[in-house]
Amino acid sequence: MTHLTLQAVTKRFHAAYAVDHVDLAVPDGKLVCFLGPSGCGKTTLLRIIAGLETASSGTVAFAGRDLTDVPANRRDFGMVFQSLALFPHMTVAQNIAYPLRLRRVGKEAEASRVAELLDLIRLPHMADRPVSRLSGGQRQRVAIARAIASSPKLLLLDEPLSALDAKLREAMQVEIRLLQQRLGITTIMVTHDQREAMTMADEIVVMEKGRIAQVGKPLDIYRNPVSEFVADFIGLGNILPVTLEGGDRIALPGGQQIVVDAAPPARGAAGDVRLLIRPEDVCMRTAVNGAVDPGPNVLAGKVAFIRDVGASLEATIDCAGVTLTAATTPRETPDLRIGMPVFAELPPHACKLIAARTAH
Ligand code: ATP
């Protein structure tokens, strides 16, 4: 069942479009991430859904009800912002109880709901501590507990983890995701961090200049991006300008021809097509004993740079006219050195052809 529906939602600030005719259906119980570079309209779109911003045109409907003229405080949505906006002079329990007070739920119901939420966020022992004396991750949890205290139908999160350091941020991504799944609460989260979106989302909405560039499951978008912009924004990728040589053959920038399984993109004519191959699909092997014929779809090159972070290893390989990144593990390629001759195989099934980014 679709919970939230956006139809042709548009927001203009003076002449500029911050959000440009966005159509979207958010299914019940899912976590959807709005992902895109700074200024692409993610926050504006979230604020329109929240009722904090009025759309210039278009409609927002929830469970079949048109919300366009319903004010934010009547929408029954929980929200967590980048700043968290907790009340620093209040305790953890008082912060969580705040929305319940506004609704006058009664002392007993309030106490039992606060206790339940404190358990849920694993902070029952900190009920009476002022939030100013909590760690970043604990504050984060309190903000989420407060946002869900009155059992909202939709949870809206705007970059809620951006103030946390990398390690805590990753831990909180898992924590929020597990909580969201346990509660089954439909959630929309804004982020500019593609790893965060890949970790947490059922569906990612990639935005570019106020428009939706692609909507899909994280791995589908990663595997089958519809454009160079999406391919570049989601994950690491080798993206090379290529020319179509007819049939299944393409020519790489250095002139070497390879075979691909993929059909050229519908919009792409020769000259504006890109080859996408992910680093984990580039099969790298050391060029032992100066082998002369490496075989089809194989480029001969030299290792130019190695990024070895222990669990994974990325090698930058300079081939004639082409620079490729290949991902392996230190275990698989223990003797890799800069300057070492290697072969990089581009398996035909892993080569995607996408339309080149158009300049606006
Ligand atoms: P970020 O990741 O940097 O927060 P974003 O994708 O959330 O970016 P928005 O904050 O939605 O982007 O902004 C989209 C565009 O609308 C930007 O060009 C921004 O400058 C513009 N914009 C946002 N709010 C206003 C405003 N109140 N008045 C004028 N322009 C605005």
Centroid of ligand 1 to alpha carbon of 308 (angstroms): 37
Neighbour count for residue 331 (Cβ, 10 Å):
8
Q: Is 15 helix (H, G, I), strand (E, B) or coil?
A: coil
pLDDT of residue 168: 81
Ligand 1 neighbourhood includes 48 CB (under 6 angstroms): no
Q: pLDDT at residue 270 above 50? A: no
Q: pLDDT digits over 125-176, tens only?
A: 989 999 989 888 888 889 989 988 888 889 999 998 887 788 888 888 998 8
pLDDT for 309: 87
Distance 310 CA to ligand 1 centre (A): 39
Residue 3 to residues 169, 185, 189, 293, 323: CA-CA distances in angstroms?
A: 28, 11, 15, 58, 45
41 touches ligand 1 (CB under 6 Å): yes
**Ligand 1 atom nearest to 11, measured from its CA:** 16
Token pair 């990398």 is at which residue? 166
**Half-sphere exposure for 191 (CA within 13 Å, toward CB):** 26
Mean pLDDT in residue range 235-256? 90
pLDDT band at 292 (very low <50, low <70, confident <90, very high): low
User: What are the tokens at 122?
Assistant: 């694993």
Domains (ranges, CATH) in the chain? Answer: 2-223 (3.40.50.300), 238-360 (2.40.50.100)
How buried is 73 (Cβ within 10 angstroms: 0-12 exposed, 13-18 middle, 19+ buried)? exposed
Identify the residue with better confidence: 217 or 107.
217
Ligand 1 binding pocket includes 39 (Cβ within 6 Å): yes
Which atom of ligand 1 is nearest the CA belonging to 14?
Answer: 29
Mean pLDDT of 72-101: 88
CA of 18 to the centre of ligand 1 (A): 6
At residue 4, the pLDDT reads 94
What is the average pLDDT across 112-116?
91
- Residue 35 Cβ inside 6 Å of ligand 1? The answer reads no
User: Would you state the pLDDT for residue 290?
Assistant: 55
Does 42 contact ligand 1 (Cβ within 6 A)?
A: yes
User: Where are the strands (E) in 36-120, listed by range?
Assistant: 57-62, 65-66, 77-80
> In angstroms, how far apart are the furthest CA atoms of the chain?
81
Of all protein residues, whose CA lies closest to atom 17 belonging to ligand 1?
A: 39
- Contact 237 CB / ligand 1 (< 6 Å): no
